[in-house]
Structures are given as structure tokens and as C-alpha cells.
Amino acid sequence: MSLVITPENPLRPSFVGVVTGVNLSKPLDQQSIEAIDRGMDHYGVLVFRDQPLSQDEQIDLSVQFGPLDSGLRKATGAATRFKYDQLIDIGNVALDGSIANKDNKKLIGVLANQLWHSDSTFQNLPVKYSMLSAVVVPEEGGQTQWADLRAAWDALPESTKKYVEGKTGWHSAFHSRIMLGDSDYSQEQLDKFPPVERPLVHTHPGSGKKVLFPSVHITHVSDLAVPEGRLLVAELLEHATQAQFVYSHSWRPGDYVMWDNRSTLHRGTRYDLSIRRDLRRTTTLERDYVPAEIAA
């Protein structure tokens, strides 16, 4: 059986596709990689069911779509329970394998992930896809939601489109965490991720569609006072995350979901932190990007 992608919801055929006819634990052929890339350009989010992956298999799969980035760990130096720095822990599991206590600092990241964002926009890197593998999930809560930023742009009033186009937002790695009371960062850590300027509207390189691009990572907006800019971002987030633009995924063990950070926002939803949840993420950069340490 060859790879097939169908709309998750036929009433919204351009957002979220379901992929069948592929085994992600084995190397993909070039035809399948290209089909997935086309699917990502069209749907923004792709769902694969019944694809349990080991750590090695997830890394081997992910690098077929570009170099991997380890995200915020590059600044915090946080220890990992995984074999690879590029596997990012989206669960509530402590280093020793137990469920993390409520005073465990790693839960700040779990809670920060419940705010609408795109991954790693606070880095001056060409971030592309993220991929999330479900190992253990709670029976209730803990869904992940994605918002279609292409449809959100199309639905903006023309006056708002004119107002936001050309403006930029400054994305900070620590902004959402500080909002949640996690302010214990050294100047050295803060300096590793200085704020990055990104447009509030951009054109997606794969589809050619315009994309509205707000995020909880934005600290201020160009040419606006800080309060005015933050209120604008809040307004745009409220618009972009209306139910008509959002897909909510209820996880099953073995689920694997890919999404394009350039055309979507996402967030996790609340769950009982005393119940184990183990999801593992990788994030890719553009295929032709060469990390500075390699280029040197």
C-alpha cells in the first residue's frame, strides 16, 4: 500500500491531513518524503496513527526532513532522560522515570506549552517542522490543539490586515515562562537567546499563502508602545484561535503528528499532572541550513 493523505475533516479539506500506507519506523523513500512535504504545505498538520517509535527511530525519521534543533535546552543546560539532546520532553516524567513532583522545575515547561505558540520562533534559525510522538497519555485531558494561521489571515477584516502588515513582533525565549512566574534565569542564559524580530504577517514559502503570525513569545511590537503592542498580540491570538480555525487532537499511544511551525500555532491542554504523560518532540530546520558549529 502506498502513502495516502486524506483530510481529517472533509468540511475543512485544507487543514489537517491523515496519513496512511507508510511505516515511520523504517527509512522513507524519496517519493514518500516528497509526498509528506507536499502534504505539509497543503494541510499544515499531518496525523499518523499506530506508529510507535523508539528514540532511535524517531531521530532517524526526523533527520530525513532537516537538521534537528534542541531548542531552549541550549540556554538552560537542563539534563535530559533521553539518549539525544534533540529529543524534547513534552511530558511530566522526571529524570529517574517517576512522575515529576509539583515543585519540579520541568513542569514550568509543561505549563508554558499550554499557551499558544510556534516552536522556537525565539531563535534566529529557519525553524520548519515539529514532530510529536505519543508514548503514554492520560485518559482525560492533555489534548494538543493547532490553529490554522492561513485561514486566520484570510478572515481578518481588511482594516486589520492593513494595520498589521509590515509590523514586526519581538520573540523572546523566556517571555512566557516569566509570565508564569519562572524568572530564575542567569544573565548568561538570557544572553544565549536574545529577542528575535519576526514579521506579524509572512508568506509561506511552500504554499505561497499569507500567514498571520502572533505568538505568546512576543514581548513587544515594532512602532508601538509595549502595552499597545501586547494588546494587539492578544487580539490577534484571540482571533487566530477561534474554534473555526482550530483542530484538537486526542492522543492515543503510538500517534505521531507533524506540523509546520510557519503556518500554525499550537498548545497543549490542561491535564492532571499527577498522571503520567510521555510525549517526545523533535523540531527540524530547513534542509539546506548548516548549523554554525558545522559551518565553522
CB 40 within 8 A of CB 258: yes
Q: Domain span at residue 110?
A: 4-287
Q: Which long-range contacts (CB under 8 A, 24 or more apart) does 152-161 make?
A: 152/212, 152/239, 152/240, 152/242, 152/245, 153/201, 153/209, 153/210, 153/211, 153/212, 154/210, 155/239, 155/244, 155/245, 156/212, 156/239, 161/201
Question: How high is the pLDDT of residue 296?
Answer: 39
Is 123 among the domain residues?
Answer: yes
The pLDDT of residue 291 is 65
Q: Are 81 and 126 in contact (CB under 8 A)?
A: no
295 assigned to some structural domain: no
In the prediction, which pLDDT does 108 show? 84
How many of the other CB atoms lie within 10 Å of CB of 143? 17
Domain membership of residue 294 (yes or no) is: no
* CATH number assigned to the domain comprising residue 72: 3.60.130.10
> Which triple of cell numbers denotes residue 27?
527509512
Q: Is residue 249 part of a domain?
A: yes
Q: Comparing C-alpha atoms, which of 266, 280, 248 is closest to residue 91?
A: 280
pLDDT at 110: 86
Taking the chain (296 residues) in consecutive chunks of 10 residues, what is each chunk's mean pLDDT? 92 97 97 98 98 98 96 80 94 94 85 94 94 97 98 98 98 86 80 91 97 97 97 98 98 98 98 96 90 51
Strand 256-260 versus strand 45-48 pairing type: antiparallel
> What does the alpha-carbon distance between residue 129 and residue 268 come to, in Å, rounded to a whole number?
17
Buried b (16+ CB within 10 A) or exposed e, 49-64: eebebeeeebbbbbee
- Per the domain annotation, does 32 fall within a domain? yes
Count of structural domains within the chain: 1
Using the Cα atoms of residue 65, residue 126, residue 182 and residue 79 in order, give the sign of their dihedral: positive
The pLDDT, as a whole number, for residue 82 is 94
Is residue 296, in this structure, part of any structural domain at all?
no
Q: Are β-strands 127-136 and 278-285 bridged in parallel, bridged antiparallel, or unpaired? A: antiparallel
> For residue 180, is it within any domain?
yes
Environment class of 1 (CB within 10 Å of its CB; exposed 0-12, middle 13-18, buried 19+):
exposed
Q: Does residue 257 form part of some domain?
A: yes
